[in-house]
């Protein structure tokens, strides 16, 4: 049985199954092992771990500790409560094919531009920042006007182009976040520029470290952490990179409890846009397929962010971010009290817990359905029980949506 316990309760003899930490987008620690000495416990504390999951089948138990399933249900209930706070989110719906095509063109154009810029930096070529600024300005304007559809393209990332596509994904998500918080267009534009450039410093990190599929050594992780300083150095003095964009670049790996890098800032020492960027950077990273981890479903990623926010992020901002994309993100598979399995098509701004779904499977009769729409705002007799893994029911989300 998997149970959640505070780090203070972790003892030699227990089997560590997972650790709750805001930096785990980098493969720097092997989480699954039997604790044998106090040194391992101290290492976890140094890394900012405050809570862990243990496997009682492989090590000692802590009676009374909540099970993983109990924690999951509690987190999902908290997310539903977040959705009922009366703050209307941005309205999201699955985009039409022509909107997807237009957004894909923006996405690909932006990815190519960031790729070229980063390649020039890695090769030591002279970068014509005036020309780059003009091109990025055009891209950022396009993202501002199409961020909702671009967010839906977040799963397009490939391992080879991850760094470039990650920058575009963070730009779209941060732009939506800024819109929810009612930033003016200029500030939102500046945040978008920072997002597009936030990982530019990785081009000064050796490729064998940047693309390493296995766990990083402490020295290799130190080299990775330098990418923030490198990025700041690269754009220093560039006239169109203002203070807001620079804060996104400088603070996206800082953590609210001081366990981030490079400066170990805590709380309001971190700029507001830096706090936002930290949340978005992690969400986009953990929902992407990488050589060292499988992509999380968006719903699971939101649950993790909410769990981590207790220590590592600004809890209020995490709540706002979750509202900005919905507690049941588009394309998420959910199960209903009626036994139906549905895919989220559209969110209801008045009640995030009652989106529009595409019903595709009957779990009680264990059979697929001819897809049809269910609007939970009007079909009030039914309700969502929680997220489900579509693979469990043999559901291919993309194919279902195309056939609908």
Domain with residue 221: its CATH number is: 1.10.3210.10
Tens digit of each residue's pLDDT (9 = 90 or more) over 239-277: 999 999 999 999 999 999 998 999 999 999 999 999 999
Helix 185-197 vs helix 129-151: crossing angle, to nearest 10:
100
Tell which phi-psi region holds residue 375, choosing left (phi > 0), alpha (psi between -120 and 50) or beta.
Answer: beta
**CB neighbours of residue 69 within 10 Å:** 10
- Flag whether pLDDT at 86 surpasses 70: no
- With beta carbons less than 8 A apart as the criterion, state whether 219 and 241 touch: no
- With beta carbons less than 8 A apart as the criterion, state whether 27 and 67 touch: no
In whole angstroms, give the CA distance from residue 175 to residue 148: 9
In whole angstroms, give the CA distance from residue 29 to residue 281: 19
In a domain, 79, yes or no: no
Confidence of residue 279 (pLDDT cuts 50, 70, 90): very high
Shared-domain flag, residues 132 and 272:
yes
- 373-403 per-residue burial string, b: 16 or more CB within 10 A, e: under 16: ebebeeeeebebebbbebeebebebeebbee
Could you tell me which of 156, 139, 117 has the C-alpha nearest to residue 193? 139
Q: Give the pLDDT of residue 29.
A: 58
Shared-domain flag, residues 169 and 218:
yes
Name the least confident of 20-34, 161-175, 367-381: 20-34
In a domain, 80, yes or no: no
Shared-domain flag, residues 237 and 304:
yes
More confident residue, 24 or 151: 151
Shared-domain flag, residues 182 and 292:
yes
- With beta carbons less than 8 A apart as the criterion, state whether 103 and 337 touch: no
Shared-domain flag, residues 239 and 382:
no
Confidence of residue 50 (pLDDT cuts 50, 70, 90): confident
Domain boundary among 273, 307, 325: 325
CATH code for the domain of 56? 3.90.105
Q: pLDDT over 70 for what percent of the chain?
A: 93
Mean pLDDT confidence for 82-108: 78
Domain region containing 15: 2-66
Confidence of residue 26 (pLDDT cuts 50, 70, 90): low
Mean pLDDT confidence for 308-312: 89
- With beta carbons less than 8 A apart as the criterion, state whether 345 and 373 touch: yes
Domain boundary among 325, 344, 372: 325
Shared-domain flag, residues 15 and 118:
no
Q: Give the pLDDT of residue 402.
A: 80
Tens digit of each residue's pLDDT (9 = 90 or more) over 176-223: 899 889 999 999 999 999 999 999 999 999 999 888 877 788 898 899
- With beta carbons less than 8 A apart as the criterion, state whether 90 and 148 touch: yes
In whole angstroms, give the CA distance from residue 92 to residue 89: 9
Residue 65: phi, psi to the nearest 5? -70, 145
Tens digit of each residue's pLDDT (9 = 90 or more) over 332-378: 899 999 999 999 999 887 788 889 999 999 999 999 999 999 999 88
- With beta carbons less than 8 A apart as the criterion, state whether 188 and 147 touch: no
Shared-domain flag, residues 34 and 108:
no
Shared-domain flag, residues 344 and 310:
no
Shared-domain flag, residues 354 and 250:
no
Q: What does pTM read for this prediction? A: 0.89
Confidence of residue 129 (pLDDT cuts 50, 70, 90): confident
Could you tell me which of 196, 142, 147 has the C-alpha nearest to residue 176? 147
Domain count, the chain: 3
Beta bridge partners of 93: 346
């Amino acid at each position: 049985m998997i149970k959640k316990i505070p780090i203070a309760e972790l003892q030699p003899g227990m089997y560590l199954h997972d650790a709750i930490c805001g930096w785990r987008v980098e493969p720097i620690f092997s989480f699954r092992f039997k604790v044998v000495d106090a040194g391992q416990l101290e290492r976890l504390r140094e890394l900012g771990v405050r809570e862990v999951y243990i496997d009682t089948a492989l090590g000692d138990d802590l009676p009374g500790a909540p099970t993983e399933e109990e924690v999951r249900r509690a987190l999902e209930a908290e997310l539903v409560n977040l959705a009922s706070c009366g703050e209307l989110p941005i309205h999201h719906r699955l985009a039409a094919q022509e909107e997807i095509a237009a957004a894909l063109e923006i996405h690909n154009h932006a990815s190519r531009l960031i790729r070229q810029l980063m390649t020039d930096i890695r090769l030591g070529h002279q970068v014509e920042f005036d020309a780059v600024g003009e091109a990025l300005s055009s891209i950022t304007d396009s993202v501002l006007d199409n961020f909702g559809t671009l967010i839906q393209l977040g799963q397009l990332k490939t391992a080879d182009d991850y760094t470039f596509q990650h920058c575009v994904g963070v730009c779209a998500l941060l732009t939506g976040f800024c819109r929810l918080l009612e930033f003016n267009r200029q500030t939102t534009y500046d945040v978008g520029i920072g997002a597009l450039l936030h990982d530019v410093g990785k081009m000064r990190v050796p490729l064998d470290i940047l693309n390493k599929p296995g766990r990083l050594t402490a020295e290799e992780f130190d080299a990775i952490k330098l990418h923030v300083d490198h990025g700041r150095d690269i754009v220093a003095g560039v006239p169109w990179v203002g203070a807001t964009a620079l804060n996104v670049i400088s603070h996206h790996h800082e953590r609210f409890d001081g366990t981030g890098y490079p400066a170990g800032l805590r709380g309001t020492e971190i700029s507001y846009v830096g706090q936002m960027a930290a949340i978005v950077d992690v969400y986009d990273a953990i929902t992407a397929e990488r050589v060292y981890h499988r992509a999380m479903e968006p719903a699971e990623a939101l649950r993790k962010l909410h769990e981590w926010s207790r220590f590592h992020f600004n809890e209020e901002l995490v709540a706002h971010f979750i509202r900005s994309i919905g507690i049941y993100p588009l394309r998420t598979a959910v199960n209903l009290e009626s036994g139906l399995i549905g895919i989220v098509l559209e969110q209801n701004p008045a009640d995030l817990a009652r989106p529009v779904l595409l019903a595709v499977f009957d779990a009680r009769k264990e059979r697929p359905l001819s897809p049809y729409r269910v609007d939970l705002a009007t079909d009030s007799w039914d309700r969502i029980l929680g997220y489900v893994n579509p693979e469990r029911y043999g559901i291919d989300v993309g194919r279902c949506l195309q056939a609908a």
